[in-house]
Amino acid sequence: MALIKYKKLSKARGVTVPKDLAANLGMFAGAAVDLVEMKEGILLRKHVPTCVFCGSVESVDTVKGKEICAKCACEMREEINSKYA
């Protein structure tokens, strides 16, 4: 059965995730999370890096604040090299 905890929103509408609950899920201070709007409410989950161009979750890195996969990065490099070579 899922662990359920009750928390109130702060004045800034923030929520503090209880330390034990976060630790059980491998979520630590500074970790990125996704907030997903759902019919039943809001789902909070560990952030999964996703390429902004193709949506892949494989070999994703952050470049200048944007998440990009290795394949798209390679394609971009080739396109840029061919245009500016």
Question: In sequence order, what are the residues at sequence separation of 6 or more whose Cβ sits closer than 8 angstroms to the Cβ of residue 57?
Answer: 48, 49, 50, 51
Q: Are 43 and 23 found together in one domain?
A: yes
Q: Are 36 and 53 found together in one domain?
A: no
How does pLDDT run across 30-50, given as a tens digit for each residue?
888 999 999 999 999 888 899
How does pLDDT run across 9-25, given as a tens digit for each residue?
999 999 999 888 888 88
Torsion sign, CA atoms 46, 44, 53, 56: positive
Q: For residue 63, what are the domain limits? A: 49-85
Per the CB < 8 A criterion, the answer to whether 57 and 49 are in contact is yes
Q: Are 55 and 28 found together in one domain?
A: no
Total count of domains within the chain: 2
Is pLDDT at 1 greater than 70 in this prediction?
A: no
Please provide residue 60's backbone torsions phi and psi, each rounded to the nearest 5 degrees: -95, 135
